Structure 1
């Protein structure tokens, strides 16, 4: 038995012991920097999500029509690629405008207020309705359009109400 114990003791002495790596100040600073970067990404994403949600709610408030500012209302189906393309082109045309811009509103036909609005107006989706400052419909633009086609119509709407 003495021999077995002696051999085990020798093996224990030869076996490397696991030593936890020493954490340096440099390692801690690196982890702190990565944590700060991650926090910035999460905070930026959250701010974008809140901003996007607020814009979406504001754009769907159809009660803003006729409250002293001309309006462009898109009758929109979010699942329709043509509607989404028209929305992109409308936003580009509005951003290209110099001076005042009309309100841009969305009548989402997948939600009750938007569907009721489209039915009352008697129009299908992929349609832009232009309203003067008093809320009177002055023009209907059906189908897909480019920003170059939309910009003159929007400018004319603002001139007529200026």
Structure 2
């Protein structure tokens, strides 16, 4: 009698690889959704230095500020170069102090004229038209 044993078939590796790839893609997608929206500088020192500015208060723990940033980005190109687009980061001491001085919470927008005086205040703007009306107050093309 022959004592040879048949080799056990190896399990295919592709299911494990597929699961790993799916997990990595899912984690990357989650990270991308947490990235800041648009290029909003958090350097608020330029306010009142000759260029009008729009400042949005942003707390990454809430959704409204991110949604307002997306809304701002829909009109931003029409004002780029004439108005500075800034964010008061509510997770940073400088942003918190700025927000306290101007009575801002997440998703509140304040538009400043070239001299640094508040010209308009929007609490969670809902439309591009609201933003345009506030920006047109300080925009001098």
TM-score tier by shorter-chain length is 0.5 to 0.7
Distance 1:127 1:65 in 2: 17
Residue 139 of structure 2 aligns to a residue whose secondary structure is helix
The equivalent position to 2:123 in structure 1, one of 122, 137, 142, is: 142
Residue 153 of structure 1 aligns to a residue whose secondary structure is helix
RMSD between aligned alpha carbons? 2.0
Report the Cα offset of residue 145 of structure 1: 2.1
Q: Normalising to structure 1: TM-score of the pair?
A: 0.58
Rg (Cα) greater in structure: 1
Question: Is residue 110 of structure 2 the alignment partner of residue 129 of structure 1?
Answer: yes
1:29-83 deviation per Cα after TM superposition (whole angstroms, max 9, x unaligned): xxxxxxxxxxxxxxxxxxxxxxx8xx45xx1000010110000001111222111
Moved over 2 A (4+): 98-101
The equivalent position to 1:66 in structure 2, one of 48, 70, 77, is: 48
Partner residue in 1 for 2:134: 153
Contact 1:66 1:136 in 2 (8 A): yes
Mapping 1:30-109, distance limit 5 Å? 55=39, 59-95=41-77, 97=78, 100-109=81-90
Q: Counting helix residues as a fraction of each chain, which structure ranks higher?
A: 1
Residue 105 of structure 1 aligns to a residue whose secondary structure is strand
Q: Structure 2 regions of 5+ residues with no counterpart?
A: 1-35
Q: Structure 1 regions of 5+ residues with no counterpart?
A: 1-51
Distance 1:140 1:84 in 2: 17
Contact 2:125 2:131 in 1 (8 A): no
Paired positions, count: 104
Residue 84 of structure 1 aligns to a residue whose secondary structure is helix
